Amino acid sequence: GENVEQHPSTLSVQEGDSAVIKCTYSDSASNYFPWYKQELGKRPQLIIDIRSNVGEKKDQRIAVTLNKTAKHFSLHITETQPEDSAVYFCAASGAAGNKLTFGGGTRVLVKP
Amino acid sequence: DAGVTQSPTHLIKTRGQQVTLRCSPKSGHDTVSWYQQALGQGPQFIFQYYEEEERQRGNFPDRFSGHQFPNYSSELNVNALLLGDSALYLCASSPESGRKTTEAFFGQGTRLTVV
């Protein structure tokens, strides 16, 4: 089955700097790659997603890139703010339908 | 729209007991998936229900079972609880759209503690 690896597990950045989280997946049939933000004690919330027919997608300070050949995708957060502090999860889904396989998560701390 | 709602929010059970968790999907969604999230880890897929049938199943033992009702709401049942079943159980709903994977919306989860 699908396996998703996520790095780093923790990331500390200064406010205003950029943060980058990287994920790799194993199943070449995967075609949907969402990113979720989970604050302490709260539900995972979708912040951005990308499909396999697109190489890059941006939404304000957040961008995601996908390299299908290398089977990796990345989340980029620019101009980080303290409210960006949370755990971020990447996930992959493929021909099996809506089943999501998650990475292990990255705890991001933005220091003011 | 209340989004995805789960009940109860917290639950404490004793080893060997049985538990039932409930989920109401977002309005317009007919597919419900359940995930187990252990502390400090990513959610793990348990199973998915569509048209009142289990459509996919992750690597979980038969102690984990579920049901979907005609109104698309769903239940997760866990029998013979183990200490290792302590986790946050998340329900996610999505609209069925054929072969295209669609966005999944998560509920706030049920925190299960087995003592």
Q: What's the gap between Cα A59 and its chain centre?
A: 13
Binned at pLDDT 50, 70 and 90, residue B20 comes out as very high
Whether chain B has a CB inside 8 Å of the CB on A6: the answer is: yes
> Where are the strands (E) in chain B, listed by range?
5-7, 10-13, 19-24, 31-37, 44-50, 53-57, 64-68, 74-78, 87-94, 105-106, 110-114
Tens digit of pLDDT for each residue in A62-73?
999 999 999 999
Cβ separation of B101 and A93 shorter than 8 Å? yes
Distance CA B9, CA B13 (A): 13
Nearest to A49 among B48, B103, B105 (CB): B103
Q: What mean pLDDT value characterizes chain B?
A: 93
- The predicted pLDDT at position B101 comes to 65
Chain B residues lying within 8 Å of A6, measured CB to CB: 42
Chain B residues lying within 8 Å of A101, measured CB to CB: 45
What is the C-alpha end-to-end distance of chain A, expressed in Å? 41
- Residue B20, both tokens: 């039932």
| B31: β partners | B50, B94
CA atoms within a 13 Å half-sphere pointing along the CA-CB vector of A68: 13
| List of residues 6+ apart from A19 with CB closer than 8 A | A11, A13, A75, A76, A77, A80, A84, A108, A110
Chain B, window 37-76: residues with a beta carbon less than 8 angstroms from a chain A beta carbon: 40-45, 48, 55-56, 58-59
Cβ separation of A43 and B90 shorter than 8 Å? yes
Q: Is the pLDDT of residue B110 over 60?
A: yes
Cβ separation of A97 and B108 shorter than 8 Å? no
Distance CA A33, CA A83 (A): 23
What is the C-alpha end-to-end distance of chain B, expressed in Å? 36
